[in-house]
Structure 1
Amino acid sequence: MKILIIQQKMIGDVLTSSILFEALRLKYPKAQLDYLINEHTVAVVENNPNVNNFLLFTKEAELSKAKLLKFAKSVGHKKYDIVIDVYSKLSSNLISLFSGAKTKISYHKFYTTLFYHYNIKREKTHDGKAGLAIVNRMQLLAPLDIETSFIKPKIYLTEKELSNSKAFLKNHQIDFDRPLYMIGVLGSGGKKTYPFNYMAEVIDTLVEETSGQILFNYIPKQETEARTIFDLCKPDTQKNIYFDVFGKSLRAFLAITSHCDALIGNEGGAINMAKALNIKTFAIYSPWIDKATWNLFENDNNVSVHLKDFKPELYTKAEKHYKKETAELYKKFEPQFFTSKLKAFLN
């Protein structure tokens, strides 16, 4: 049996959808399980023992209808028995159609019955700790008679990656007898990035409470923005920030994060990756993001805060409708609202 899962989105989505492979492997131990993802996201699922092959969707295929069609036809040549489309957008609809699979599963949309045999309606609420992102993905397996069980995403690092990253940190004078924190200082975009001055206050509180060592998660092209947040921190805080110690690739970031006591900062892919590494997290949500979907496995080790937690009267409709008002809502989301919660987390 050959099964293909399609998830052409960002790193956090690709990681979260990887839980399907563990469930499928338990049901079909000898099946060929392949993962179709965007080429820039493969690092987060590298070495996953439940995935046989990766089909990488390129930027060229995304931008060219002719190349997309060629790619879809190439998938069809692989003769999959089952396709599970977690992405469910035009490109994946086409790929699913050309796959020729006898069983095609995706989420319900007004047009999806044209492409899929099973169209699963997303849950709107849940009463568990897994988060809707987990709940809704596991529901895609219901047509295969796989019982809903809440599997946690996992990242698989090699012993070499772990030892090299530890040596890297030691070479940069990181003291493993003191707390070490990774800070998600920047989100995936402006509308998912906590205001710089507020983030600096959060980092100040962190150092005041723990005297911990601080690492910033950023990529080279974000150095100017990260430096701005550094400059907004108090002088005593700056002494504890190792600004130039960062992972220059996604796998390097993951390996470094695995040695940290917690990851604190903007909700997004980095938070989800830290959870998959069993690293404690404190996530600050953007005002327009639905917390119920992405607060995966919320507990004392994984804490999150959202403006709606403190100012519910500001929300008269679903969070996604406030995207254009993000900047104004962020201004209202002052660090003082959750300082006590942050201190409890640190303690």
Structure 2
Amino acid sequence: MKKILIIQQKMIGDVLTSTMLCAYVKKYLPETEIHYLINENTEGVVVNNPNIDRVVFFKKEYRDSKWAFYLFLKSISKNKYDVVIDVYGKIESALISLFSGANVKISHFKWYSSFIYTHTLKPLRIKHSSMGLAIEHRLQLLKPIVPEFNPAEFPPKIFLTESEILEAKLRLESKGVSFSKPLVMISILGSSEIKSYPLQYMAEVMDAISKKGEVIILFNYMPSQLKLAEELYALCSPELKAKIRFDIFEPSLRSFLGILYHCDALVGNEGGAVNMAKALNVPTFSIFSPWIKKISWETFNANKANMAVHLNDYYQNESMSKKQLKKASQTLYLKFKPSLFTEKLDSFLKTNVFVNN
């Protein structure tokens, strides 16, 4: 039996997206043993995934201590992997690939690390499906080991147990949530300030949702973002606050996923929460940061269940580099008023949330 190590040290959305590699390897090479190397804080999206035989954690201490990292590299060597697929493509993962001793090492081409790998592929620039470039980039890494690879266009999956789903429903019911009303999760913040839609604008988006009919609105944010969540809540009108359940917050990733499973839609900042919703077949309306490429992360948009908006849909900023866009993101966000995408949001809500209105 061959052993394959797939490396994806990054954020939740990246880790979830790259589980598609695990799924396709299992499909085309079913006898393969798959190990998936990820950061510890992203474990929640891979629990119970039948396509992963072992999860290998990259711990914070490996970045803090060169000795700890060296010992980790030695432990990788002992696994005697046959194939390594390095999705992450940074110096850390290049060293892990090198120490693996695998006969086949695959990654995207980078001039400073290409000598480590047996196969390097140049990233695609044009997408060929509704999956989005971020996914197509990853899936092309399978070509050296699955030459006849032909992917179907479906999102990665999160595997919740029946008990997790039931327990989440009971928690909601214990809080007085009525499932006779649509339940909408709002991804109120991105992972950083330059990936977060302005709070005043987000309040306007929620107000537009609330005026469509009876609805229960939940907030998704990290514990470290509580103060910003409170600021957003303070911006809401009394009528809107009456439809927001600010008291419902799940501290763990798995418990959040259980709640998200029961939602009719997720609306808000593009990022990990959007990817998780898609993996649970929850319709999504994503608002992109001005510096993130929509062509890469607008995934599975072939149907009306997944819609997205980007400032470039309304104002072209193609002359600006990625570095310039990041620096100007706050200014650009101010141009990205909710009124620009009112019609598209209305269409999404009518199709997925307020179906009977």
Q: 1:300: which partner in 2? A: 304
Whether 2:176 is the aligned partner of 1:176: answer no
Conserved? CA contact 1:73–1:95, under 8 Å: no
Secondary structure at the counterpart of residue 328 of structure 2 = helix
| Structure 1: stretches of 5+ with no match in the other structure | none
Measure, in 2, the Cα distance between the counterparts of 1:44 and 1:72.
25
Q: 2:68: which partner in 1? A: 67
Conserved? CA contact 1:27–1:146, under 8 Å: no
Q: 1:316: which partner in 2? A: 319
User: What are the Cα deviations for residues 11-64 of structure 1, in whole angstroms up to 9, with x where unaligned?
Assistant: 000000000011100122121111000111111111000100011000000222
Conserved? CA contact 1:7–1:17, under 8 Å: yes
Match of 2:149 among 147, 150, 159: 147
Measure, in 2, the Cα distance between the counterparts of 1:168 and 1:176.
12
Measure, in 2, the Cα distance between the counterparts of 1:55 and 1:171.
37
User: What are the Cα deviations for residues 160-200 of structure 1, in whole angstroms up to 9, with x where unaligned?
Assistant: 10000000000111110111000000110101110000000
Counterpart of 1:259, as a letter, is: H
Secondary structure at the counterpart of residue 119 of structure 1 = strand
Q: 2:130: which partner in 1? A: 129
Q: CA deviation at 1:112?
A: 2.6
Secondary structure at the counterpart of residue 254 of structure 2 = helix
Q: CA deviation at 1:325?
A: 0.4
Measure, in 2, the Cα distance between the counterparts of 1:108 and 1:220.
37
| Structure 2: stretches of 5+ with no match in the other structure | 351-357
Whether 2:30 is the aligned partner of 1:9: answer no
Measure, in 1, the Cα distance between the counterparts of 2:323 and 2:149.
31
Q: Identity of counterpart residues, as a percentage?
A: 48
What's the Cα RMSD here?
1.1
Measure, in 1, the Cα distance between the counterparts of 2:201 and 2:295.
24
Q: 1:256: which partner in 2? A: 259
User: What are the Cα deviations for residues 218-259 of structure 1, in whole angstroms up to 9, with x where unaligned?
Assistant: 233322110111111111010000001021100011110000
Q: What does residue range 1-347 of structure 1 map to in structure 2 within 5 Å?
A: 1-144=2-145, 145-149=147-151, 150-298=153-301, 299-312=303-316, 314-319=317-322, 321-347=324-350
Secondary structure at the counterpart of residue 246 of structure 1 = coil
> Normalization by structure 2: what TM-score?
0.95
> Normalization by structure 1: what TM-score?
0.98
Counterpart of 2:271, as a letter, is: G
Measure, in 1, the Cα distance between the counterparts of 2:339 and 2:208.
10
Measure, in 2, the Cα distance between the counterparts of 1:127 and 1:341.
24
Secondary structure at the counterpart of residue 54 of structure 1 = strand
Counterpart of 1:304, as a letter, is: A
Q: CA deviation at 1:72?
A: 1.1
Measure, in 2, the Cα distance between the counterparts of 1:157 and 1:321.
41
- Call closer, same or farther: CA 1:53–1:304 in 2, change over 3 Å: same
Question: Runs ≥4 in structure 1, deviation > 3 angstroms?
Answer: 317-321
Counterpart of 1:224, as a letter, is: K
